[in-house]
Amino acid sequence: MRIILASQSPRRRELLERMGFSEFEIIPVRGEELATRTLTPDRLVEELSRRKCVEVSAAHPEALVIAADTLVAVNNRVLGKPGSEEDASRMLHTLSGRLHMVYTGVTVACGGKLVTEHEMTSVRFRALSDADIIRYIATGESMDKAGAYGIQGYGCLLVEGITGDYYNVVGLPVCRLGRILTSFGVDPLALALQKEQEA
């Protein structure tokens, strides 16, 4: 089966490989990530992931297409990717010493079937000093990540604790995606076992 990941994110690619998929294509969407901001964060990520999936699936209807979208929210206020270092600084000050939610919408499409779900993980930051924030932004890690941090990188130094799926915070809820894939006749654990037996 031809599998397409509708994302340029190296983190999502790595997580899909960690799930046991060694052969898949990367075909990012061309359209802009525009959606109604009046939606709640969970509905917003679902809509954005669905749009990505539908766009790529329309061009490759024979393939199994996986798309995802992640955002950070504080009291339902959405924090996307920062547009500048000043924007990143504002986001990190907002997250400092507080609990926030990370939402990822994931959509899978194949053969006319489409399934969209979302995962939510709560993350608590320790209190950050101005110096902490300046140093973290200087690493360059903030600029391409929702909420201006990456938990899998130096951002782990900012996180006091999480409740829920760690991989969801990285950008792909692998447990939920695995369950969705089984409904399409693709069982990641069965594929992993097959690879082990062939090795």
Q: Which residues are catalytic?
A: 69
Give the other-Cβ count within 10 Å of 190's Cβ: 11
For the chain, how many residues are written?
199
Cα–Cα distance measured from residue 147 to residue 157, given in angstroms and rounded to the nearest whole number: 15
Q: Is 140 left (phi over 0), alpha (psi -120 to 50) or beta?
A: left
Cα–Cα distance measured from residue 85 to residue 183, given in angstroms and rounded to the nearest whole number: 42
Cα–Cα distance measured from residue 92 to residue 72, given in angstroms and rounded to the nearest whole number: 11
